[in-house]
A and B are shown apart, each in its own frame.
Chain A
Amino acid sequence: MNLDKTEPTAVPAAIELIGVSKSFGPVKANSDIHLRVAKGAIHGIVGENGAGKSTLMSILYGFYQADSGEIRVNGQPVRIRDSQEAIRLGIGMVHQHFMLVENFTVLENVLLGAEGGALLGKGKAEARAKLAELAREHGLEVDPDALISDLPVGAQQRVEILKALTRGAEILILDEPTGVLTPDEADQLFEVLRQLRAEGKTVLIITHKLREIMAITDAVSVMRQGRMVGTVRTAETSPEQLAEMMVGRRVLLKVEKGPANPGPAALTVENLTLRDGAGVERLKNVSLTVRRGEIVGIAGVAGNGQSELLEAIAGLRRPTSGRILLDGTPIPHDPRALREMRLAHIPEDRHKMGLVLKFETRENSILGYHLDHRYGGALFDRAAIEAECQSQMEAYDVRPPNSRLKTANFSGGNQQKIVLAREFERGPHALLIGQPTRGVDIGAIEFIHRRIIEMRDAGKAILLVSVELDEIRSLSDRVLVMFDGRIVGERSPEADERELGLLMAGVTGAGERGAA
């Protein structure tokens, strides 16, 4: 099963890494990595955040230099000093965050960095011909004169792939390619990748989504804590085995929960409309109800109004019109008063909003609750704050349990636990939860999901926003789909994934329309 050494070496591998190591100061991001990627294969690399995947890819693309070890491309030892060198070797990269100039056209973006002289005319004509050729060969259709900012995310990603292919890429590296795609767009991407494989190109795909690995790859390598744990054939493995290899212990991928036992309505949103500073309508007449003891999930591709909805309810954005009621009372536009009404909010971005990373963790453990008289009079009662933080860290198994450590020094999963502990432990009645497991490792995901279910079973009303459709489906009791600032439908979490995917893409024709 382990292919590291047994693979026949008659055909040189597209990429071979031999004992590659890379440290940042005292941190070993990659240590003694061995990897063989067969030519004409789709090869997956999985691992938790901080396992060293992105560092490894950056080494391949010339962003970082390995401290030691050897890289071979098509059997030839190479030194990749910068991305130009990588491109020359036929390596193309599609970054997680697209490297596109938004106010350029597709053609201009493809041209960027390969203008072919001071005047653009000749290069443009060549690039246009090349794009047409690629569109014919691979079915990668994009209007060359469209502005990037006008294209949907899936098409933008196609431009990134085209950029790599026009530069003659034979080996394509994709970093978390489906993070921003709808399930439908992801399927289209996989179709393109299979096509590329059929033409003999090699694809290296980095992701933390095991389902996608199983769907598309031929072989998969697992990384953990900067080391390569092993490489297996996809056909001979299972998501459970991969998860175990990633974490180093058995993990429960399925959330175990009983049926919901919903009570009276706790949180009601009526005809909420919100225009942002630029006058763009971010929320359009949104209405929803969350009852006690149920989890209502909002599915949708990032940027369709979910963030604005959460922030409007949390008192951080002032709605243009509409009402928000908590236990029948209209809520004030004041996060502090909302906390007193027992509405807790786990923000979508813990770094930008949920935590002050430079604070000691005990300071973060009272963020938002710092005016509470429990924490002292004119001066803080430091013993009380310390005790609070200790009990939170213990209840949520935060490691290391050091209340004086700066929060920035904790891992993503532990930072998220710090936020959850702060908001959950104060006995809220209603909870707004945004992206509870973004950038959190698998072991912590399991823990966080269990806690959210526990809160539901304790009779709290929970509104959950996540761009991970799997997470929405496995936690929610009801699923609302948001598209372009509207709620376009309600489905049961058992609904067909394809149907949900179509709704997320704004196709509302399919099936009956559920009212929210």
Chain B
Amino acid sequence: MSQPAARLPLWVDFGLIPLLNLVAAFAVAGLVVALIGENPLDVARIILYGAFGYGEGVGFTLFYATNFIFTGLAVAVAFHAGLFNIGGEGQAYIGGLGVALVALGLDPYLPWWLLAPLAVIGAALFGALWAWIPAVLQAKRGSHIVITTIMFNFIAASLMAWLLVDVLNPGAGSMSPGTRFFDAEAVPPRLSEILAPFGVDLGGSPANLALVAAVLAALGVWLLLWRTRLGYEIRALGHNSSAAAYAGVPIARVIIIAMLISGALAGMMALNPVLGDQGRLLLEFPGGAGFVGIAVALMGRSHPLGVIFAALLFGMLYQGGSELAFEKPSISRDMLILIQGLVILFSGALENLFRPALARIFAPRAA
């Protein structure tokens, strides 16, 4: 007789367990902080204040969260199809190329509100393109998607370095590898400008309309997965590929489509930093957001709403962490990576740590 799977109330499964995992991660992180001679409560206060304590901090938290929502959704969609897309980083990077090409080509002619939708398409198209080759290799040849997407991250990095140094670089007067600045008229306004008339002060934070796009994307992913036939086929494939074949799901095609959607979502992450913040394409702009997306999807249990919350948490850690590094020189940025690592460890790898005990407490009694 196999071990019966215990059923838990939804709020335990999606609320209490992630919370306990998080508390455990922070407790261990606190121990490490105490070991290097700092007061963990003090550190927690600085992180929380840095992330949520004042307008500009909130703005930065939202800015980082926007990146992570996109990359988290990208990983989540692939997860549902049973695919582990490690290539969010590369897909976001190439997505940035799509945004930049649209902006560089059209910024003399179009106002931002006409250019932005085209930039969205460019980002999605280029991100999807970068996921397409690994997807086809997986679907038609069985090449493992984890390996191929990792490789494509390196290829993307090399390609972009060449493009930004030798091809798209304006040359004279440019000190950094990147494109020229887009025309100011082509860059959408920041949230701080939009919300200022309503008395909301986000300071000089770079949060921009990409946040709205990210939330809409989350809604779209939710609709796709649970309200459409394609989403049904993606989930059937991810849970049980033999059953999907039995149901007549065209497996190779659904693998490719799921990866294209995943790549498009990762590519759209570029809208936030490239179009919304810097106003030009810079070397290594994704800054690891593609990899954080994996943790975000794990923690958010591949559900769009969970991804939004997990992205906010990681945005908070990023922003609060910068603040912390500034206030406490003894704590380096590496400490933040440690805390993120612990969050991933407890919410991903050790997901079942507290489950058996909670199952005993909450599961309905059987006769």
Instruction: Provide the bound-state CA to CA distance between A368 and B360, in Å.
Output: 37
Interface assignment of A378: CB less than 8 Å from any CB of chain B? yes
What are 9 A-B contacts defined by CB distance under 8 Å?
A29-B1, A52-B1, A335-B245, A337-B248, A352-B243, A367-B246, A368-B248, A370-B232, A370-B247
Interface residues of B in 6-27 (CB under 8 A from A): 6-7
Question: B328 at the A/B interface (Cβ < 8 Å)?
Answer: no
Which are the 10 A-B pairs with shortest beta-carbon distances?
A336-B248, A335-B248, A368-B247, A379-B227, A55-B1, A353-B246, A27-B4, A356-B239, A353-B242, A26-B363
CB distance from A100 to the nearest CB of B (A): 22
In the complex, are the beta carbons of A408 and B247 less than 8 A apart? no
Say if the beta carbon of A297 comes within 8 Å of chain B: no
- A-contact bits for B325-367, CB 8 A (1 contact / 0 none): 0000000000000000000000000000000100110011111
**B233 at the binding interface (Cβ < 8 Å):** yes
Tell me if A54 is interfacial: C-beta within 8 Å of chain B: yes
Q: How far, in angstroms, from A54 to B3 measured CA to CA in the complex? A: 12
Contact of B236 among A25, A347, A367, A409 (CB under 8 A): A367
Q: Is B229's beta carbon under 8 Å from chain A?
A: yes
* Cβ contact within 8 Å between B227 and A370: no
Q: Which of B1, B235, B246, B364 contacts A54 (CB 8 A)?
A: B1
| Min CB–CB distance B23 → chain A (angstroms) | 23
Neighbouring A residues of B367 by C-beta, 8 Å = 28, 225
A334 part of interface (Cβ distance < 8 Å) = yes
For residue B245, give the distance in angstroms from its CB to the closest CB of chain A: 6
* A354 CA / B243 CA spacing, docked (Å): 6
Q: A26-B365, A27-B366, A28-B366 are in contact. Are A347 and B246 (CB under 8 A)?
A: yes
Q: Point out the residue from A25, A316, A336, A337 that lies within 8 Å of B360, measured CB to CB.
A: A25
CB contact between A25 and one of B1, B6, B242, B246 (< 8 Å): that residue: B6
Interface residues of chain B, those whose CB is within 8 Å of chain A, are 1, 3-7, 223, 227-229, 232-233, 235-236, 239-240, 242-248, 356, 359-360, 363-367
Residue A108 lies at the interface, judged by CB distance under 8 Å to chain B: no
* A316:B246 contact, CB within 8 angstroms: yes
A25-B359, A370-B247, A379-B227 given; A352·B242 CB < 8 A: yes
Asked if B243 and A367 make an inter-chain contact with CB atoms under 8 angstroms apart, the answer reads yes
Report A209-228 residues with CB < 8 Å from chain B CB: 225
* Inter-chain contact B5/A409, CB cutoff 8 Å: yes
Contact call B246/A379, Cβ cutoff below 8 A: no
A352 engages B240 (CB within 8 Å): yes
The segment out of A86-94, A178-186, A357-365 that lies at the interface is: A357-365
How far, in Å, is A413 (CB) from chain B's closest CB? 16
14 more contacts with CB within 8 A, not counting A28-B367, A58-B1, A347-B246, are: A26-B366, A50-B1, A225-B367, A315-B248, A316-B245, A316-B246, A339-B248, A356-B243, A367-B243, A368-B247, A370-B247, A380-B228, A382-B227, A408-B5
Whether A430 sits at the interface, judged by CB under 8 Å, is no
Does residue A429 face the partner (Cβ distance < 8 Å to B)? no
Closest chain B residue to A355 by CB distance?
B243
Chain A residues with CB under 8 Å of B233's CB are 370
* A380 with B229, Cβ < 8 A, contacts A357-B240, A358-B239 known: yes
Contact check, B232 vs A380: say whether CB atoms are below 8 A apart: yes
From residue A275, how far is it (CB to closest CB) to chain B in Å? 19
Contact assessment for B246 and A359 in the assembled complex, using a CB-CB cutoff below 8 Å: no
Q: Which residues of A have CB within 8 Å of B232?
A: 363, 370, 380
Beta-carbon nearest neighbor of A364 in chain B = B243
Name the distance in Å between B225's Cβ and chain A's nearest Cβ. 11
Bound Cα distance A302, B197 (Å): 75
A356: shortest Cβ distance to chain B, in Å?
A: 5
B366 adjacent to A379 (CB under 8 Å): no
Give the shortest distance, in Å, between A129 (CB) and chain B (any CB): 39
Mask, A340-356, CB within 8 Å of B = 1, is 00000101000011111
**Does A371 lie at the interface of the complex (its beta carbon under 8 Å from any beta carbon of B)?**
yes
Given known contacts A52-B1, A54-B1, A354 and B246 CB-to-CB distance under 8 angstroms: yes
The reply to whether A357 and B239 contact each other, CB–CB distance below 8 Å, is yes
A335 to B228: give the CA distance in the assembly, Å.
20
Contact B6 A26 (CB under 8 A): yes
**Whole-angstrom distance between the Cβ of B176 and the nearest chain A Cβ:** 46
Across-interface contacts of A354 in B (CB, < 8 A): 243, 246
A277 to B3, CA, bound (A): 34
A62 → B minimal CB distance (Å): 16
CB–CB A24/B239 < 8 A: no
What residue of chain B has the Cβ atom nearest to residue A345's Cβ?
B246
How far, in angstroms, from A466 to B235 measured CA to CA in the complex?
31
Complex-state Cα separation, A473 to B227, whole angstroms: 45
* A367 in complex: contacting residue of B7, B247, B359, CB < 8 Å: B247
Q: Which residue of B lies closest to A225 (CB)?
A: B367
CB-CB under 8 A for A25 and B248, given A354-B243, A379-B223, A380-B227 = no
Known: A357-B240, A358-B239, A363-B232. A24 touches B247 (CB 8 A): no
Provide the bound-state CA to CA distance between A455 and B151, in Å.
55
B contact residues around A27 at 8 Å (CB): 4, 366
Chain A, Cβ-Cβ closest to B247:
A368
Given the known A-B contacts A24-B4, A25-B363, A363-B232, are A356 and B240 also in contact in the complex, defined by CB atoms under 8 Å? yes
From A24, A55, A339, residue with most partner B Cβ within 10 Å: A24
In the complex, what's the smallest C-beta–C-beta distance from B38 to chain A, in angstroms?
41
Contact A25 B356 (CB under 8 A): yes
Report A366-420 residues with CB < 8 Å from chain B CB: 367-368, 370-371, 378-380, 382, 408-409
List the B side residues contacting A50 at CB < 8 Å.
1
CA distance A409 to B5 in the complex (A): 8
Q: Which residue of A lies closest to B3 (CB)?
A: A24
Contacts of A24 in B (CB 8 A): 1, 3-4
> Scoring A residues 53 to 87 as 1 if CB is less than 8 Å from chain B, else 0, what string do you get?
01100100000000000000000000000000000
Query: 8 Å CB contacts to B: which residues of A288-314?
Result: 314
Chain A CB within 10 A, most for which of B3, B227, B229, B364: B229
A379 to B228 CA separation, bound complex (whole angstroms): 5
In the assembled complex, the Cα of A378 lies from the Cα of B228 at a distance in Å of 7
Q: Which partner residue on chain B sits nearest A340 by CB separation?
A: B248
**Nearest chain B CB to A374's CB is how many angstroms away?**
12
Task: Collect the chain B residues with CB atoms within 8 Å of residue A334's CB.
Answer: 248
Q: Which residue of A lies closest to B232 (CB)?
A: A370
A382 to B1, alpha carbons, bound, how many Å? 36
The distance in angstroms between the C-alpha atoms of A300 and B29, with both chains bound, is: 61
In the complex, chain B residues whose CB is within 8 Å of the CB of A339: 248
CB neighbours of A337 from chain B (8 A): 248
Closest residue to B362 on the A side, CB-wise? A26
Q: Which residues of A contact B227 (CB under 8 A)?
A: 379-380, 382
Q: Which residue of A lies closest to B356 (CB)?
A: A25
Query: A335 vs B1: C-alpha distance in the bound complex, in angstroms?
Result: 34
Q: Can you list, as one digit per residue, whether each of A26-56 has a CB less than 8 Å from chain B (1) or not (0)? A: 1111000000000000000000001010110
Point out the residues of chain A lying under 8 angstroms from B6, CB to CB.
25-26
Bound together, the chains give a CA A58 to CA B3 distance in angstroms of 13
- Shortest Cβ distance from A322 into chain B, in angstroms? 21
Cβ of B360: which chain A residues have Cβ within 8 Å of it?
A: 25-26
Give the complex CA separation of A353 and B365 in angstroms: 31
Q: Kindly report which residue of chain B lies nearest to residue A64, judged by CB atoms.
A: B1
CB of B299, distance to nearest CB on chain A (Å): 20
Give the distance in Å from the alpha carbon of A337 to the alpha carbon of B235 in the complex: 21
**Which of B229, B245, B246 has the most CB atoms of chain A within a 10 A radius of its CB?**
B246
B242: A residues at CB distance < 8 A? 352-353
Q: How far is the CB of B264 from chain A (nearest CB, A)?
A: 19
Q: Which residue of A lies closest to B359 (CB)?
A: A25
Question: In the complex, what distance in Å separates the CA atom of A345 from the CA atom of B242?
Answer: 14
Tell me, rounded to whole Å, the shortest Cβ–Cβ distance linking A343 to chain B. 12
Closest CB of chain B to A438's CB: distance in Å? 16
Residues on the A chain within 8 Å of B239, using CB:
356-359
**Most B-side CB within 10 Å, residue of A58, A336, A356:** A356
The complex places the Cα of A124 from the Cα of B92 at a distance, in Å, of 62
Q: Which of chain A's residues have a CB closer than 8 A to the CB of B356?
A: 25
CA distance A55 to B4 in the complex (A): 12
Q: How far is the CA of A25 from the CA of B364 in the complex (A)?
A: 10
